[in-house]
Amino acid sequence: MKNKILIAVGLLLASVCASAQNYFGVTGGCNLSHLSKQDVLFDFYSKIGFNVGVAYEHRFKNSGNSYPFVDASILYSLEQYSFAYKDRTIDPYDMVLYYGGYEPIVKEKYLKVPVGVGFNFQLAEKFGLAPKVYGILDATIDRFGMEPIFAFGGGMNLNIGEHFQIGIGYDLNHSFAWTCASFKEWIGNFHANLTYYIFSK
């Protein structure tokens, strides 16, 4: 009985792997980031950044049009936000004029490796809707001594044909640490991406 189960599992895995397709391409898009911290001294503002990189998707094709998938990408991501003193009479050092007040712009540059799992629901011959969840291994690029951090998020892809994809998502990321080690907050990052899979095999 045990041997029959192992044989059945082996045949199932072989069938899935035989029908799977690997897609490789490029991706790019915009970020809209914000700091989660609420503070009595500062107002915080979202700012737009960008991300760009390479993408991979592994599609487990079956007899139907819908299918599960796993995907991954390697991204350079600029995520930024800003803050201003609530008391606009304060003129702190090295701040720029913004919306009638003074604020510094915080720019975080990341190398991010998100890995996701999801399911594509085929809506029509050329269109599929694919919700997914993902984990992210990321590290800041321009801050010495910062170790890689694990983050997480979720999103949705609109698949157009075999090779074009429009995606949106939201993830929670670690923020920078100032001179005070206890000043660490989470950055929420909304992103919208265009992905083109150049080839598959």
- pTM (two decimals): 0.75
Encoding tokens for residue 79?
């995520």
Contact 56, 71 (CB under 8 A): yes
Q: How many other C-beta atoms are found inside a 10 Å radius of the C-beta of residue 77?
A: 25
Contact 25, 200 (CB under 8 A): no
| CATH T-level assignment (fold) for domain 20-200 | Porin (2.40.160)
Q: How many other C-beta atoms are found inside a 10 Å radius of the C-beta of residue 63?
A: 6
Report residue 126 CA to chain centroid gap: 25
Residue 11, pLDDT > 80, answer no
Residues 6+ apart with CB under 8 A from 8: none
The pLDDT of residue 61: 80
Q: Which of 5-9, 33-37, 69-73, 159-163 is the least confident region? A: 5-9
Per residue in 97-106, pLDDT tens?
Answer: 444 445 577 7
Domain boundary assignment for the chain: 20-200
* Closest of 109, 86, 84 to residue 97, by C-alpha: 84
Segment 122-142 shows an average pLDDT of 90
> What are 51's strand-pairing partners?
29, 77
187 pLDDT band (50/70/90 cuts)? confident
Rounded-to-integer distance, Cα 123 and Cα 63, Å: 16
Residue 183, pLDDT > 60, answer no
The pLDDT of residue 84: 73
What average pLDDT does the structure give for the chain?
Answer: 78
Query: Which phi and psi angles does 162 have, rounded to 5°?
Result: -90, -25
Residue with tokens 């100032």: 178
Per residue in 44-87, pLDDT tens?
Answer: 788 899 999 999 999 998 767 899 999 999 999 998 888 777 66
